[in-house]
Chains A and B, each alone.
Chain A
Amino acid sequence: DTGVSQNPRHKITKRGQNVTFRCDPISEHNRLYWYRQTLGQGPEFLTYFQNEAQLEKSRLLSDRFSAERPKGSFSTLEIQRTEQGDSAMYLCASSLSTGLSGNTIYFGEGSWLTVV
């Protein structure tokens, strides 16, 4: 257990439904990342936050995807009108940004989404 908690761990939803995933990072970590991973591939960057500010969003993050980190602590990733292509594992990671390189980035166990 790395200390990064993701919920739910598994979600099966019908196409067209909305889903929301939650990530609780390690408490003192100010940086939080979301990644998506499909079978046999490495994780793909979606977005990241420094405290409550969303600093970067990938082009992969279509307008059906939205992420928030309202108080700079936990974060949510919402997918609206899910499509079968959204089926993947959604990974959250956190780190402490100190201005130095080499801070360990800790990943959660991921949230598996299956869209049927």
Chain B
Amino acid sequence: KNQVEQSPQSLIILEGKNCTLQCNYTVSPFSNLRWYKQDTGRGPVSLTIMTFSENTKSNGRYTATLDADTKQSSLHITASQLSDSASYICVVIDHGNKLVFGAGTILRVKS
């Protein structure tokens, strides 16, 4: 069983709408949790980084939340744009500095 589970697997929304992606993890102890955006055929690009003591972190239209007690994180995208179409990957860093990746949520924004 993957230590980082993401939902939904894929999502289609209309341009301008908001959406929320979920990440549940079992990695323990963990150092920090990150969200990455990966365009098709490209390397992942960092969106947010949160340590266990942080509850929320924003980067423009992206807002990540973290509940270390329930081991859940979410990524909220506001006022979606066509360029937001990508895979969004939740990554948990363990204390050995190893990155444990989720399988990603594929987001498609339609006009």
**Chain A contact residues, CB within 8 Å of chain B:** 2, 4, 31, 33, 35, 40-45, 48, 56, 89, 91, 93, 97, 101-102, 104-110, 112
Contact = CB atoms under 8 A, between A and B. Distances in A.
Contact of A106 (B4, B41, B46): B46
B102 to A, nearest CB: 5
B13 interface: no
Contact of B103 (A33, A41, A101, A108): A41
A54 to B, nearest CB: 13
Interface in B8-51: 31-32, 34, 36, 41-46, 49, 51
Contacts of B104: 41-42
Contacts of A43: 44, 89, 99, 101
29 contacts: A2-B45, A31-B97, A33-B99, A35-B99, A35-B101, A41-B103, A42-B102, A43-B44, A43-B89, A43-B99, A44-B101, A45-B99, A56-B98, A89-B41, A91-B43, A93-B43, A101-B51, A102-B32, A102-B49, A104-B46, A104-B49, A105-B34, A105-B99, A106-B46, A107-B43, A107-B44, A107-B45, A108-B43, A112-B41
B46 A110 contact: no
Identify whether the interface residues of B are mostly helix, strand, loop, or mixed.
Answer: strand
Contacts of B44: 43, 91, 107
Contacts of A31: 97
B93 interface: yes
Chain B, interface size category, equals 20 to 34
Contacts of A93: 43, 99
A42 B43 CA distance: 11
